[in-house]
Amino acid sequence: MSEFAQPVERVPEAHQELQSRFVSDHLRRIFLLIYRIVGNVDDAQDLTQETFIKALQRQDQIKDLEKAAHWLSRIATNTAIDFLRRHGRVSFSDIDDLPEPVSASPLESPEALVLQTERREYLEAGLGTLTHRERTALILRDVEGLPAEEVAAQLNCSKATVRSHIANARTKFRRYLERRKT
């Protein structure tokens, strides 16, 4: 029998269900985490998929769901950081470049949507002033709420270095917000 004709062992149905639930529970959180780091919807989409595929190929790791969530965040951060290392860039999607048209929720008026879009662009431009390490450190510490030791472990640097990244990022970001206020 040729090796291509060998039957592939199928994933049990219960496990497939667990995988689907795992994806739906964490998809949005992981997408947002990666998007905040890479700043681009298309890249964030690819990297989110890559993160889940990497995670689900290690089936034994998703038995403990709480640990799995933490572990998934770590894979996501590493995947995003590796991507930035390879490409050495952070670029924000222009709203006009998004593949899907802007869809207004029935609860939001067009004015509210425009305002929200402006706020988002303004904030993203502020994040764009940071280096990718500062930006990642800031997001992991201030948005994800990870302790500095964990951020240091994820960025593969010392705690002193990560504190310096966090301090620089906070200072730059605050200055940006203040400049834009005046």
Partner 1 sequence: MRHPQDDQLALFAGGDLGLLDRLRLRGHVRGCDACRRSVESYRSAAARLREETAKLPAGLKWDSLAAEMTANIRVGLAAGECVAGVTSKPALMTWKPALAVLALTLVVLSGWWLNFPQEQRANLARGMQGIWNRDARNVPDPTVYLEANRAGIQLRENGSAMTLMHPDRAPSVISVSTQGAMRARYVDSDTGQVTITNVYAQ
Q: Quick one: which of 54, 58, 60, 69 has its CA closest to 21?
A: 69
Shortest Cβ distance from residue 75 to partner 1 (Å)? Answer: 13
The answer to the question of residue 165 lying near partner 1 (CB under 8 A) is: no
> What CA–CA distance (Å, rounded) separates 32 from 79?
14
Shortest Cβ distance from residue 82 to partner 1 (Å)? Answer: 17
> What CA–CA distance (Å, rounded) separates 51 from 53?
6
Among 76, 152, 155, 166, indicate the residue that binds partner 1 (CB under 8 A): 166
Degrees to nearest 5, angle at CA 158 with 152 and 159: 65
For residue 32, which amino acid is it? L
Q: Which residues of this chain interact with partner 1, rule CB under 8 A?
A: 3-4, 6-9, 11, 19-20, 23-24, 27-28, 31-32, 35-36, 41, 45, 48-50, 52-53, 56-57, 93, 95, 98, 100-103, 113, 116-117, 119-121, 123, 138-139, 141-143, 148, 163-164, 166-168, 170-171, 173-174, 177-178
